[in-house]
Each structure stands twice: as structure tokens, then as C-alpha cells.
């Protein structure tokens, strides 16, 4: 069945308050029927929704199943169904060489992976009521090649990618498309604290335009900028010994972990 035009869709976006999520909110502001935006920062959500009657701020922490279920209940009451879920909320913490902190790994996994699962769980009953719904989850290009200090972040995003690809197979018969979004480096509050070179860095508004274009095309694999992501994927196809040499060459010692969540 043919999907509804974007202008007729009810969309729910998590992680809407900063970075790519904020840019997506602004880009979708006049492009969809109704846009529900979620994040922990209620004040920022209210600012993004100011003067936009079809943008509905719904504060929620993606690590809380109950808070997301509350948002889903509101969408059901007001719209009866959901046409697209975009799970964008995420965090990044880097690992000190040789000193993994289990609590930090849990924080990253709870937000990036379980946050995605919690949102899908809350939204899926409403998505099944749409004529042809879509789930789009933000993963990362880092999943193509193991990166030093990215043990927690990379593992969480690899889990997101695998899970979404599995959902794509299982939900196809329900008329629900699934898209994996794998950005390279995008200028956001998360990347502003990075203390290493970020090749092919792009602005958040460019990332949002690329994502929306891919969603309108119902692409299962949205990755950008392609000069970077394709090169990274090619490196990921090299024999293990060569991949290890590349990762080892990027490794460095005595780095301090950085953290910023959205």
C-alpha cells in the first residue's frame, strides 16, 4: 500500500531538543500534519513549538517506558494512529584506555539502545493502525569500523542497527517500513566536545535535509556524508588484520572521557 505524503503524516520524534533532533523539528515544522516532539528539556521543546500549532511538545525521557507510554497514549487520543516514529535521542561517552566503567556502559546502552526499544514498544500499536507506517532510528557510521574509545557508544549503535534491521524483516508484513540512519560527523552539542579531527563534518540542518529526503523515499539505509560513510564501510570490509592495524593506529593513551547527552 502506498504511504501517505509527508504532509498528511503524524510523526513522533524523540531527542528533539538539540542537534539533529532540533534541526529535524525545524525542517519538519511545515512539512507534516502533526509533529509530536519529545526530549527531557521541556523548556526547549516549548520554544521549538512556539507559534506552531501542529507541533506538540511531549516531554519524556527515553529511558522511561512509562513516560513514553504516556506520550503514545496522548497521540492515540488526539490522532488515533501514528504514521512515523523517528528515534533520535542519544548520548555519547568515551572510554579511557584499559579502564571501562560498567556504569557508564549501562548509561549509554540505556539511552541509545533501550531508549530506541522503549520508543518502538510504545509506538508500535499506533503504527500498526496506519495504512503504511515507518520507523526510523538514528544509529551511527561508527558501526562500520571499530573505533578506539568508542566501545560503549559503538556497541550501543551496533545494537540499534542490528535491532532495526531485524524489525524491518518482521514488520514488513504489517506494512511498516524501517530505516536505519547512520550519520558521519555532524556539528551538534555532542560533537562540539570531541577533541579529535572529524573529517567531512557537516551542519545539523544539512543532516536533517538528507534524512527527510531519505524518509520520503522510504530508504532502509540512510547514511551521510557519503564520501565519509562509504570510505568507512569499505575499510570495514578489509581483512581483520588490516582492520586491526587501522584501529590500532587511531588509538591513543591517557585520554579523558567526554560526556554530553541530549
SS (H, E, C) 148-210: CCCHHHHHHHHHHHHHHHHHHHHHHHHCEEEEEEEECCEECHHHHCCCCCCCCCEEHHHHHHH
DSSP-assigned letter for residue 10: E
**CA–CA–CA angle 29, 33, 38 (5° rounding):** 60
Residue 153 has a pLDDT of 96
- Which residue reads 585520554 in cell numbers? 255
List of long-range contacts for 104-109, beta carbons under 8 Å, 24+ apart: 104/152, 104/257, 105/151, 105/152, 105/155, 108/152, 108/153, 108/156, 109/152, 109/155, 109/156, 109/159
CATH, domain range 6-252: 3.40.50.720
pLDDT of residue 253: 52
How many other C-beta atoms lie within 10 A of the C-beta of residue 202? 17
Mention every residue, 6+ apart, whose C-beta is less than 8 A from residue 255. 94, 96, 97, 149, 195
Beta carbons within 10 angstroms of residue 210's beta carbon: 19
> How many Cα atoms within 13 Å fall on the side-chain side of residue 242?
6
Q: Could you read off the pLDDT tens digit of each residue along the chain, which spans 262 residues?
A: 788 899 999 999 999 999 999 999 999 998 999 999 999 999 999 999 999 999 999 999 999 999 999 999 999 999 999 999 999 999 999 998 668 899 999 999 999 999 999 999 999 999 999 999 999 999 999 999 998 889 999 999 999 999 999 999 999 999 999 999 999 999 998 888 888 889 999 999 999 999 999 999 999 999 999 999 999 999 999 999 999 999 889 886 543 444 444 4
**pTM confidence score:** 0.94
| Catalytic annotation, residues | 153
Q: What pLDDT is attached to residue 132?
A: 94
Amino acid at each position: 500500500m502506498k504511504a501517505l505524503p509527508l504532509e498528511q503524516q503524524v510523526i513522533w520524534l524523540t531527542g528533539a531538543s538539540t542537534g539533529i533532533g532540533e534541526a529535524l523539528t525545524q525542517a519538519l515544522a511545515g512539512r507534516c500534519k502533526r509533529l509530536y516532539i519529545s526530549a527531557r528539556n521541556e523548556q526547549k521543546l516549548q520554544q521549538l513549538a512556539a507559534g506552531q500549532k501542529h507541533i506538540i511538545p511531549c516531554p519524556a525521557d527515553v529511558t522511561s517506558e512509562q513516560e513514553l507510554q504516556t506520550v503514545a497514549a496522548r497521540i492515540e487520543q488526539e490522532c488515533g494512529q501514528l504514521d512515523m516514529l523517528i528515534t533520535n535521542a542519544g548520548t555519547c561517552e568515551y572510554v579511557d584506555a584499559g579502564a571501562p566503567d560498567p556504569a557508564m556502559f549501562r548509561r549509554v546502552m540505556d539511552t541509545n539502545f533501550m531508549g530506541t526499544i522503549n520508543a518502538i514498544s510504545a509506538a508500535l500499536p499506533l503504527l500498526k493502525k496506519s495504512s503504511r507506517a515507518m520507523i526510523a532510528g538514528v544509529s551511527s557510521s561508527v558501526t562500520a569500523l571499530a573505533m578506539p574509545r568508542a566501545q560503549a557508544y559503538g556497541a550501543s549503535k551496533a545494537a540499534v542497527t542490528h535491532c532495526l534491521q531485524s524489525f524491518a524483516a518482521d514488520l514488513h508484513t504489517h506494512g511498516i517500513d524501517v530505516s536505519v540512519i547512520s550519520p558521519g560527523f555532524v556539528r551538534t552539542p555532542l560533537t562540539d566536545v570531541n577533541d579529535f579531527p572529524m573529517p567531512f563534518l557537516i551542519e545539523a540542518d544539512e543532516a536533517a535535509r538528507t534524512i527527510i529526503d531519505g524518509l520520503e523515499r522510504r530508504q532502509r539505509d540512510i547514511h551521510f556524508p557519503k564520501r565519509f560513510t562509504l570510505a568507512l564501510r569499505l575499510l570495514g570490509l578489509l581483512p581483520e588484520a588490516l582492520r586491526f592495524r587501522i584501529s590500532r593506529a587511531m588509538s591513543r593513551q591517557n585520554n579523558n572521557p567526554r560526556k554530553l547527552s541530549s
